[in-house]
Amino acid sequence: MRVLEVKGLRAGYGQMEIVSNVTFDVGDREVVAVVGPNGSGKSTLLKAVFGLCRVFSGAVLFKGEDVTRLPPHKRSRLGMAYLPQTGNVFESLTVRENLMLAAHDLDEEEVRKRLEGVLSLFPELGGLMRRKVRTLSGGERQIVALSMSLLRNPSLVMLDEPTAALAPRLVKQALKRVVELRDEAGVSIVLVEQNALSALEVSDKALLMVSGTVKFWGGARELLEDRELAKTYLGL
Ligand SMILES: Nc1ncnc2c1ncn2[C@@H]1O[C@H](COP(=O)(O)OP(=O)(O)O)[C@@H](O)[C@H]1O
Ligand SMILES: [Mg+2]
């Protein structure tokens, strides 16, 4: 069974359709990169999959279950995680407080166990626990946000431009760690990225969005090797 299946999705805001007829899927332990020019509807697509904008037609299936009309908190309970580009952490709280908020409904023993797992993925988190999030770097914040979603034991993590706040030299390394998530936490990942080349290099599949529609859906390597598409839409 596919972790995520998106079928003929049309979505947007109010009466405005932004994303048209999008079909793709995500398998177990797969990384799917969503790339395309600015304003092509990548963020809107993630929001639609998580239930945060209007869906006009089409379907979203999560582990075989139709979740198209389910509110976001219910999708989260089923194991779907979504990290928006900004506003994914509480600035005035410490790292520990942020993590505890994400785990508020779990019992102590479970929190301890999951925290251990997250710390083995992100050892540097240990030294940041007492820091207020507002004092952290962009990269450190992303680690906090990712850790918060991992405490929920998701089977799918959707990331909207996780490298946007990073210095260019840190981008590749950060994306490598995203892939480690797949290998070590066993999650499937949808990765929206403006760093198309770096993202495609570490992804299994690729969805190229242009003006709200799918220009390409297939292997990430195939898209990289399609000189025409890569040059026209990704500037590669
Ligand atoms: N909350 C919103 N209300 C109305 N239009 C929006 C909203 N968010 C984004 N849009 C519009 O949707 C289009 C696609 O935006 P977006 O999904 O953010 O693209 P991308 O993430 O690929 O840059 C843009 O034209 C943008 O102006
Ligand atoms: Mg976006």
pLDDT tens string 201-223: 999 999 999 999 999 999 999 99
How far, in Å, CA of 192 to CA of 195, rounded? 9
How far, in Å, CA of 204 to CA of 193, rounded? 14
Distance of CA 98 to the CA centre of its chain: 19
pLDDT score at 233: 95
Give me the mean pLDDT over the 164-191 stretch. 90
Domain boundary among 152, 167, 196: 152
- Asked whether residue 68 falls in the same domain as residue 174, the answer is yes
pLDDT score at 50: 98
- Asked whether residue 22 falls in the same domain as residue 139, the answer is no
- Asked whether residue 119 falls in the same domain as residue 210, the answer is no
Confidence of residue 87 (pLDDT cuts 50, 70, 90): confident
Give me the mean pLDDT over the 187-192 stretch. 97
- Asked whether residue 212 falls in the same domain as residue 181, the answer is yes
- Asked whether residue 161 falls in the same domain as residue 186, the answer is yes
Instruction: From 16, 17, 38, 44, give the residue whose CB has the most ligand 1 atoms within 8 Å, as the site to mutate.
Output: 44
Q: What is the DSSP letter of 127?
A: G
Domain boundary among 124, 152, 180: 152
pLDDT score at 125: 94
Q: Which residues constitute the domain of residue 213? A: 1-79+154-236
Domain boundary among 152, 167, 191: 152
pLDDT score at 215: 98
pLDDT at residue 79 greater than cutoff 90 = yes
Give me the mean pLDDT over the 92-113 stretch. 94
Least confident of 15-24, 48-57, 141-150: 141-150
CA of 217 to the centre of ligand 1 (A): 21
How far, in Å, CA of 29 to CA of 181, rounded? 9
Confidence of residue 115 (pLDDT cuts 50, 70, 90): very high
Give me the mean pLDDT over the 54-71 stretch. 98
CB of 40 closer than 6 A to ligand 1?
yes
**What ligand has the least distance to the C-alpha of 84?**
2
- Asked whether residue 18 falls in the same domain as residue 131, the answer is no
pLDDT score at 1: 85
CB of 15 closer than 6 A to ligand 1?
no
Helices (H), 53-195: 72-78, 95-102, 108-121, 138-150, 168-180
Number of domains making up the chain: 2
- Asked whether residue 89 falls in the same domain as residue 72, the answer is no
- Asked whether residue 164 falls in the same domain as residue 234, the answer is yes
pLDDT at residue 165 greater than cutoff 90 = no
- Asked whether residue 65 falls in the same domain as residue 14, the answer is yes
Confidence of residue 169 (pLDDT cuts 50, 70, 90): confident
CA of 67 to the centre of ligand 1 (A): 23
Atom of ligand 1 nearest to the CA of 40: 22
SS3 65: strand
Q: Which residues pair with 26 in a beta bridge?
A: 4
Residue nearest to atom 17 of ligand 1 (CA): 41
Give me the mean pLDDT over the 59-64 stretch. 98
CB of 41 closer than 6 A to ligand 1?
yes
CB of 88 closer than 6 A to ligand 1?
no
- Asked whether residue 71 falls in the same domain as residue 178, the answer is yes
Residue nearest to atom 18 of ligand 1 (CA): 43
- Asked whether residue 129 falls in the same domain as residue 205, the answer is no
Helices (H), the chain: 42-50, 72-78, 95-102, 108-121, 138-150, 168-180, 196-202, 220-225, 227-234
pLDDT at residue 109 greater than cutoff 90 = yes
Which residue carries 């999708």 as its tokens? Answer: 75
- Asked whether residue 132 falls in the same domain as residue 205, the answer is no
pLDDT at residue 88 greater than cutoff 90 = no
pLDDT score at 42: 98
Percent above pLDDT 90 for the chain: 86
